[in-house]
Structures are given as structure tokens and as C-alpha cells.
Amino acid sequence: MSGAAGRRIFAAVAALVAVAGLLTGCTRSIDGRAVAEGAGGGGRSAEFTKLLTECDAVSDEQIAETVGAAAVFRGFFGAICRWDGDGPTGVVKVTFNWFETGTLDNERSAGEELGYTVENTTVEGRRALQMRRPGDPLSCGISAGASTTGIFGWWVQYTAGGADPCEAAATLARLTLNLSS
């Protein structure tokens, strides 16, 4: 066998070994249930089906008015959206979350695990949860079922006094349900 033929055979064998390694090295099992794109339970609500537009469910002006701020300034946007506002008593922080496949039972478990006070309530006739952090009377969160499936929540935190944070969070939740139904 010539040197060129030996190099070709060696190259062919090396290529087969590499392909075999790729085929066996790249396989793995993933636990869970496959869900088709768009079938994650988000329903048909136009407010909650457009990527990264969930944060527009309530306008910046409505948020500012609800929390008593002159204006709010948008921060991070994604599954969790954040705003900062400047009110007469100081800074107010507002957070919105939406989880397409979330449940209120999971929210309750997470809140209780964090040591929050979790109470049942309703928003627009829907089952909801009100949560408070221990020793922090200036913050409060409301989580409720979305207009179809999944959950959303609002958290309002005043830094130096202000309106009732639970009422502000509940108002934002009502506005969300009014816009997404």
C-alpha cells in the first residue's frame, strides 16, 4: 500500500470514528412533557401572547397614577417587568410578572417558603392572593389568574411611605384584567 493510500484509509477511519462519537455523544434524554409552540397555556388573550409586550398590559401613565407617582420609568422587561417612580413621599418600585403556565398554588407555596404572609382575596371576582413580606408594611403583592390560563402579579413597594401598597397592587391587577379580557 502506498503512503497516499494509507493516508486516505487513515483519514476515512478517523472520519468514521468522529461520526460515531458524535452520534453517541450527542444523545440524551430529557424528562418532561413536550408542548407545542404556543400551547403553553397562555390562551388567546392578545395582551399576553406577544413576546415582551406583556409589560404593556397597563400603561405607564396608569401605573404612575395608581401608585401616586408623577411618572414611572421603565426598567427590565421580560417575564418580570419593573418600573421606578418618584412620588411625593419618595421612590416607589413596581414589579409585574406573568407566567403562562403558573398557578396560584405555586405562588402560595413560594410565598410561604419565603416567609411571606399570604392571604386569599379576589380581584374582579377571580381567586387571587395577597402577599406581604414580614416587617415591611410599605410593600405588597397581588397575584391572580390571567384572563385565560396562567397567572400574573403586581408588587408595589414604597420606600418612605405612600398609599396602601396592597390597594395599589390590587388596582393594577384590576386594570390588567380589564385590559386582558
Q: What is the pLDDT of residues 70-79, one digit of tens each?
A: 999 988 777 7
- For range 96-108, the mean pLDDT: 92
Provide the pLDDT for residue 73.
92
- For range 113-123, the mean pLDDT: 96
- For range 45-58, the mean pLDDT: 64
Confidence tier at 143 by pLDDT (50, 70, 90): very high
Provide the pLDDT for residue 63.
95
Provide the pLDDT for residue 80.
87
Mean pLDDT over each residue of the chain, to the nearest integer: 79
Q: Where is pLDDT greater, at 117 or 25?
A: 117
Q: Where is pLDDT greater, at 140 or 88?
A: 140
Provide the pLDDT for residue 37.
47
What's the distance, Cα to Cα, between the start and end of the chain in Å? 78
pLDDT exceeds cutoff 70 at 88 = yes
- Percent of the chain at pLDDT > 70 equals 69
Measuring CA to CA, how many Å separate 124 from each of 52, 65, 148, 176?
Answer: 25, 20, 14, 10
pLDDT exceeds cutoff 50 at 155 = yes
Provide the pLDDT for residue 45.
47
Specify whether the CB–CB gap between 131 and 140 falls below 8 A: yes
